[in-house]
Structure 1
Amino acid sequence: MKHGHITDLEETELALVELSPAEEKRILRKVDWLLVPQLTILYLMAFLDRSNIGNAKIAGMTEDLKLVGLDYNIALTTFFVSYSLFEVPSNMLLKLVPAGLWIAGIMVAWGVIMTLMGITQSKEGLYAARFFLGVAEAGLFPGATYLLTLWYKRYEVQFRMAIFYFGASLSGAFSGLLAFAITKMDGVSGLGGWRWIFILEGIATVVIGCIALFTLPGGPLNAKFLNKVERQFIISRLQVETGSGRGRVTNEDPITMAHFWSAMKEWKIWVAVLTWWANSVTVYGFTYTVPSVIVELGYSAANAQLMTIPIYLCALLGVLFCAWISDKYQTRAYVIAAAYYFGAAGFLALIFVPHPGLPGLTYGLLFPAATGIYSGLIPTLGFIANNLAPSSKRAVGMGLLVSMGNLGGGLIGSNIYLDRMKPHYYVGYGFCFSIMIVGATCALVLRWAYKRINDKRDRMTEEEIRAKYTESELLALGDRSPLFRYAY
């Protein structure tokens, strides 16, 4: 008797393409050079455009728009409401619209919105611009990371994700440097320096997005920069990426509501959301507040912009190192836990250091805090992306993880560093410490759960499995197939 959920997927012959190691490496490098740098630049601009409000704040925006009390925090929060709500729908559209076209198109849209933010005349206008910026940016991160899973195997994709994601770390450095330079335009055409930050960075985003419309590839099935053999090589090597060396998965499945509900009911995604919060709560609170923290240590606003640069460069090195070691040793949970425990130690120390009495020490402690924040995110994303199949379930699941992670993280992170608590920020530092401990612990719980399932499946023989399921049923089961093994 046959079991399992049967879909319209056909039983098709698997046409593996065997090439020499040199030829395989050549094809992957070809993909690397066209895909990864473009995604990196796109995400650098996305994070720059969402976080430059922190630089605008200390460059005169607060006074010009008459922001008082929680007005600034409301502007931060508004972005995350729309950003989080539209991530899952956007990722589902990636299965219906060419991925490259969709990602480049939304970039042009948020660049226009960012430019218009530079001419807003009221706090209400700022709120509206931040809301629509969230709508437009929602599809980039989950969409771009999902796109990478269509090209690379499970222990290849994470380092590529890290190279792409370091745009976020790098944007922190660029943000301070650009803001330092752009604010020198204060008074040009009668506009404040903070307005030029939004206008010029928005125009740059539109230009880059227009270029990407013609150069960013979608999935490998219709990639014009590859020949037929190269496309078949990329597709076939991912079809057998089940972790067990047996069976196969698919990236060409049409999305249905069954995939949506399958992801929604996957409890491991919801546990991973708490691990995601260890990044999202801390990174958004940290990014929007760190220039103010440095100013309160006695440094000028201009110097504070520049002094954020080394912090983010250190975080960048942590992102690349953790992703590299996670792929090299094929482990996810231990790397996540180590990164977040390291960051938590930095926040714990910040709680007890007198402010602003020891400015050098306080500034120094921002480095381990930032490094821990950023370094654990990509292994968390890889953790979930590696363990969701078929691709439609992965698209929804990755969108759900990022959506819920950013919704909670953005809402909380935007409201834990309050002006009335400066220069100590005990609540902000304390909450970041606590959520990083929770995130690390949840990663270890997931490792235990995945390993337990793998051990149970290892006790089944392939003969037993194929006596119960047809090939199409196993393919439809995706990560629930007895032939699939989880990465942990």
Structure 2
Amino acid sequence: MVLEEKNSLSERKSVDDADFEKAQWSVPDHIQKAMRAGLSEEDATFLHSLSKKEQDKIFHKVDWRLCPMLAVLYLISHLDRANIGNAKIEGLEDTLNMSGTDYNVALMIFFVPYVLCEVPSNMILAKFNRPSWYMGILVVSWGICMTCMGALFYCASATSGAFSGLLAAAIAKMNGIGNYEGWRWIFILEGLVTVLMGIAVFWLLPDSPAHGAGRWLTHDEARFLELNHNLTRGIQKPKFNADGKKQKFQWSILWAVLKDWQIYLQAMIFASNAVPNYGLKFTMPQILKNMGYSSTNAQLLTAPPYACGAISALVSALLADRFTWRMPFIVGSQSLLIIAYAILFAKAENIKSNVALCYFSVHLACIGIYPILPGTNAWTINNLAGPAKRAIGISMMIATGNLGGIVGSFIYQEKEAPKYPTGFGASLSFAAAGAVSALTLEYAYWSINKKNAEKSEDEWRATYTEAQLEKMGDRSPLFKYSL
């Protein structure tokens, strides 16, 4: 009797195995691939049931909802950081009795908490179910600080875009209103705009497809976006384990980031933007004033270079996406920086006799500066596997690269005006070092991809278990680095 039951079970198992193998053969390869990534067959089938046109329509819908708000936040973020350079030539140093390197120290102060808080901030953000609340709190708090700087002084450096000089030139005309000097009004009014935008973030910034379902997304659109994210970026681990206890932070991920060689090469590429960028932003109004222009005209003349920089960033991003190749556009931009700063280094000593050439070089520098940052951010994100490592890795790269902001705060000193050999020379050197890092990274990625391609996916899966491949993340032989 027992033997009969065993035989019966064995027969049923053989039938089940045969049915399973038959089912596997009947499932298309792209569905099987999605199932191996952790999706159910139902979800995988739904994900691939949408045409390319329908998928693009959903992505564009998200872009139009998300990107304008983030673009405005990015604009006011850089506007607030750049306005100290505009305030400087409107009398800030004289009012505050600043001399020597006081201005440089004031610039540097911003970058200390900025660098230290980058990684913790991304870790905190990951714990928020509503990112709009976290970002709203940050923006409102920063806006209040900026507004109070019209009586208090604390600021730093960065890029502002074309609006900074134009607004500063207009706001500086308020000199004397309310017994406040023009440079104070620059901080007050731009800070108030930031506060208002921060309040708007709580309602206007989308949090996730799930929060948008039934509002600005249909339920099917939200489902598609979440499934596509799980397929391309990895399924987000639950915040609670099977016992209902909150999962602890995985320090192994932080350690994996700290010892990841590519993070430091990407950080050097980031620094090739940060040093020239921050240094030029702090000093551009003064450089233009050194050419012989009045403060108002110097403010206005900062707009065209930044406008060129904005156009170059957009064109470069579109071309990089079109060709799915980051390195040429990053190295090309760094090459323009090298040319621009070589000219300034050689000709700025007699800047009033070389106004046209030096002003052209300022334009060329901005054209070279702005494509680097979006390029290296995208390059880093695409080459880190897993949401946790990606979040910590990108913040680590930015934090390390932003140490260049401290360098940029000190390289332009008034005692070296108008030649600024330290400022122009250091910017040139960092651009060259960034170009070498980008070329090294490209070769490393290409070599690893070539080596991993020597075996097929099935051969690698026969060598490692699914658990081992998942644990390896971007070190997995099945992971392909983006060039």
Asked if TM exceeds 0.5, the reply is yes
For residues 259-287 of structure 1, give each alpha carbon's deviation from its aligned partner in whole angstroms, at most 9, with x where no partner exists.
21211111110111111111000000000
CA distance in 2, matches of 1:304, 1:257: 50
With over 3 angstroms needed to count, the CA separation of the structure-2 counterparts of 1:29 and 1:12, relative to structure 1, is: closer
With over 3 angstroms needed to count, the CA separation of the structure-2 counterparts of 1:403 and 1:253, relative to structure 1, is: farther
- The percent of aligned pairs where both chains have the same amino acid is 39
Q: 2:442 aligns with which of 422, 440, 447?
A: 447
Given that residues 351 and 424 in structure 1 are in contact (C-alpha distance below 8 angstroms), is that contact kept between their aligned partners in structure 2?
A: yes
Partner residue in 2 for 1:315: 309
CA distance in 1, matches of 2:186, 2:122: 30
CA distance in 2, matches of 1:415, 1:270: 23
Matched, 1:175 2:207: no
CA distance in 1, matches of 2:306, 2:392: 31
1:269-284 alignment, distance < 5 Å? 269-284=263-278
Q: 1:118 aligns with which of 135, 139, 150?
A: 150
CA distance in 1, matches of 2:112, 2:175: 32
1:231-250 alignment, distance < 5 Å? 231-241=222-232, 249-250=234-235
What SS does structure 2 have at the residue aligned with 1:355? helix
Matched, 1:457 2:459: no
Given that residues 37 and 231 in structure 2 are in contact (C-alpha distance below 8 angstroms), is that contact kept between their aligned partners in structure 1?
A: no
Given that residues 37 and 234 in structure 2 are in contact (C-alpha distance below 8 angstroms), is that contact kept between their aligned partners in structure 1?
A: no
Q: 2:281 aligns with which of 283, 287, 304?
A: 287
Given that residues 182 and 197 in structure 1 are in contact (C-alpha distance below 8 angstroms), is that contact kept between their aligned partners in structure 2?
A: yes
What SS does structure 2 have at the residue aligned with 1:268? helix
Partner residue in 2 for 1:220: 209
CA distance in 2, matches of 1:223, 1:400: 30
Query: Any gaps of 5 or more consecutive residues in structure 1?
Result: 1-8, 121-125, 135-167, 242-247
Partner residue in 1 for 2:63: 32
Partner residue in 2 for 1:13: 40
What SS does structure 1 have at the residue aligned with 2:161? helix
Matched, 1:22 2:53: yes
Partner residue in 2 for 1:99: 131
Partner residue in 2 for 1:296: 290
Partner residue in 2 for 1:387: 383
Relative contact order (alpha carbons < 8 A, sep ≥ 6): 1 or 2 greater?
1
CA distance in 2, matches of 1:84, 1:60: 29
For residues 51-71 of structure 1, give each alpha carbon's deviation from its aligned partner in whole angstroms, at most 9, with x where no partner exists.
101111111111111111111
Partner residue in 2 for 1:3: none
How many aligned positions are there? 430
With over 3 angstroms needed to count, the CA separation of the structure-2 counterparts of 1:414 and 1:117, relative to structure 1, is: same
Matched AA of 1:365: S
What SS does structure 1 have at the residue aligned with 2:352? coil
Matched AA of 2:86: N
Matched, 1:62 2:93: yes
Partner residue in 2 for 1:197: 186
Shift of 1:452: 1.2
Q: 463-472 or 97-106, which moves further after superposition? A: 463-472
Matched AA of 1:417: Y
For residues 422-442 of structure 1, give each alpha carbon's deviation from its aligned partner in whole angstroms, at most 9, with x where no partner exists.
011111111111110110110
Matched, 1:87 2:114: no
Partner residue in 2 for 1:265: 259
Given that residues 161 and 310 in structure 2 are in contact (C-alpha distance below 8 angstroms), is that contact kept between their aligned partners in structure 1?
A: no
Matched, 1:430 2:425: yes
Given that residues 253 and 390 in structure 1 are in contact (C-alpha distance below 8 angstroms), is that contact kept between their aligned partners in structure 2?
A: no
Matched, 1:360 2:387: no
CA distance in 1, matches of 2:355, 2:237: 55
Q: 29-38 or 461-470, which moves further after superposition? A: 461-470
Partner residue in 2 for 1:210: 199
Matched AA of 1:264: L
Shift of 1:12: 5.0
Q: Which of the pair has more CA radius of gyration? A: 2
CA distance in 1, matches of 2:412, 2:345: 13
Q: 303-312 or 222-231, which moves further after superposition? A: 222-231
Matched AA of 2:168: A
Given that residues 85 and 403 in structure 1 are in contact (C-alpha distance below 8 angstroms), is that contact kept between their aligned partners in structure 2?
A: yes
CA distance in 2, matches of 1:268, 1:317: 29
Matched, 1:370 2:355: no
For residues 170-215 of structure 1, give each alpha carbon's deviation from its aligned partner in whole angstroms, at most 9, with x where no partner exists.
x321110111111111111111111111111111101111011112
With over 3 angstroms needed to count, the CA separation of the structure-2 counterparts of 1:99 and 1:469, relative to structure 1, is: farther
CA distance in 1, matches of 2:100, 2:58: 55
Given that residues 11 and 471 in structure 1 are in contact (C-alpha distance below 8 angstroms), is that contact kept between their aligned partners in structure 2?
A: no
CA distance in 1, matches of 2:228, 2:210: 13
Given that residues 172 and 287 in structure 1 are in contact (C-alpha distance below 8 angstroms), is that contact kept between their aligned partners in structure 2?
A: no
Shift of 1:330: 1.1
- Runs of 4+ in structure 1 deviating by more than 6 angstroms, as ranges, are none
Given that residues 285 and 414 in structure 1 are in contact (C-alpha distance below 8 angstroms), is that contact kept between their aligned partners in structure 2?
A: yes
CA distance in 2, matches of 1:473, 1:430: 48
Matched AA of 1:265: K
Shift of 1:480: 2.0
Matched AA of 1:375: P
Shift of 1:252: 5.0
Q: 1:467 aligns with which of 450, 458, 462?
A: 462
Given that residues 59 and 194 in structure 1 are in contact (C-alpha distance below 8 angstroms), is that contact kept between their aligned partners in structure 2?
A: yes
Matched AA of 1:331: W
With over 3 angstroms needed to count, the CA separation of the structure-2 counterparts of 1:94 and 1:38, relative to structure 1, is: same
Given that residues 290 and 308 in structure 1 are in contact (C-alpha distance below 8 angstroms), is that contact kept between their aligned partners in structure 2?
A: yes
Query: Any gaps of 5 or more consecutive residues in structure 2?
Result: 1-35, 240-248
What SS does structure 2 have at the residue aligned with 1:53? helix
Partner residue in 2 for 1:6: none
